[in-house]
């Protein structure tokens, strides 16, 4: 290493908002490597080629200053130009607008509106169904049907679109907002036997295949074994948000005394709110 080169800090090194960015970096994303909501922001940043810093937060041991960035204590949080933005869809939309090239939304207002309809359906209906089946932990017929119904709704959208992606001919904002949970479908099969490839949804199955070949998805992907390990603990109320940190294995933890909700930000009660 020459005197001009700087070591790249680990994403597991806890850096405060005032910690400087490396030369060329323009923003910081507070994340958690297994969180699909935070992955939305990481996908948009990668798709736009934004040079950024990633800092992973242990959601069971959040620093008190993190609540100054997001009063809910959740990821992602995007720091840019002295400000900060939170909530996964809002943070991703901010990156789309603050870094306008390449555009990931259609410029046609009607087409753009439908793109929002697609990922809002998945956010409001599909994601809760995903977590309900995960929480069951076995092929529960009712929860399986619920998830299939909402994946089938996405299939109907794609049939009408007659395009390979929700954005059209290329992956766009809507695709990246939906994708993180489909990356986790193999994990869901490991835990509940839910088999996406067995569904009568050829357009969605083809979309998944296209997305896996996308360099942005490959750049942001998470090792499948880590996802299964994380969610096996998560659904039992024993989340370890540091799995995968520097090759770290999951320790044995006591169950978290709170019910699973449709959030990946499950955390112990004492870390839910500011401590000071």
Cross-strand pairs, 79: 28, 84
Cα distances (Å, whole numbers) of residue 273 to 39, 101, 194: 23, 37, 35
Q: What whole-number distance in Å separates Cα of residue 92 and Cα of residue 41? A: 5
Q: Six-digit token pair at 177?
A: 């907002």
Active-site choice (27, 35, 201, 220): 35
Evaluate the CA torsion angle 140, 149, 229, 36 in order and state its sign.
Answer: negative
Q: Are strands 52-56 and 77-80 parallel, antiparallel or unpaired?
A: unpaired
Q: Are strands 77-80 and 27-31 parallel, antiparallel or unpaired?
A: antiparallel
> Are the C-beta atoms of 52 and 30 separated by less than 8 Å?
no
From the CB of residue 121, how many other CB atoms can be counted at a distance below 10 Å?
Answer: 15
SS3 192: helix
- Note the residue count of the chain: 276
Please give the Cα distance from 197 to 139 (Å, whole number).
Answer: 15
Q: How far apart are CA 115 and CA 93, in angstroms?
A: 13
Q: Peptide bond preceding 9: is omega within 30 degrees of 0, i.e. cis?
A: no
H helices then E strands: how many in the chain? 11, 4
Instruction: Give the integer Cα–Cα distance in Å for 101 and 68.
Output: 30
27 noted as active-site residue: no
Residues annotated as part of the active site: 35
């Amino acid at each position: 290493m020459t005197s001009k080169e700087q070591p790249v800090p680990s994403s597991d090194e806890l850096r405060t908002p005032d910690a400087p960015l490396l030369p060329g970096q323009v923003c910081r994303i507070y994340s958690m490597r297994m969180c699909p909501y935070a992955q939305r922001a990481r996908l948009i940043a990668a798709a736009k080629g934004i040079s950024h810093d990633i800092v992973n937060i242990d959601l069971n041991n959040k620093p008190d200053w993190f609540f100054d960035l997001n009063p809910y204590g959740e990821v992602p949080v995007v720091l840019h130009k002295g400000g900060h933005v939170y909530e996964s869809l809002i943070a991703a939309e901010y990156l789309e607008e603050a870094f306008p090239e390449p555009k990931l939304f259609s410029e046609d207002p009607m087409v753009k509106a439908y793109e929002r309809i697609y990922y809002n359906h998945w956010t409001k209906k599909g994601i809760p169904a995903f977590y309900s089946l995960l929480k069951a932990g076995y092929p529960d017929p009712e929860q399986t049907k619920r998830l299939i119904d909402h994946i089938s709704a996405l299939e109907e959208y794609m049939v009408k679109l007659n395009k390979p992606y929700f954005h059209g001919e290329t992956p766009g904002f809507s695709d990246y907002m939906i994708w993180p949970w489909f990356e986790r479908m193999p994990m869901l099969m490991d835990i509940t036997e839910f088999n996406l490839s067995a569904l009568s949804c050829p357009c969605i199955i083809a979309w998944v295949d296209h997305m896996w070949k996308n360099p942005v998805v490959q750049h942001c992907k998470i090792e499948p074994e880590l996802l299964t390990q994380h969610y096996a603990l998560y659904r039992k109320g024993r989340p370890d948000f540091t799995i995968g940190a520097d090759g770290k294995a999951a320790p044995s933890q006591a169950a978290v005394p709170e019910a699973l909700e449709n959030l990946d930000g499950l955390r112990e009660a004492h870390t839910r709110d500011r401590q000071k």
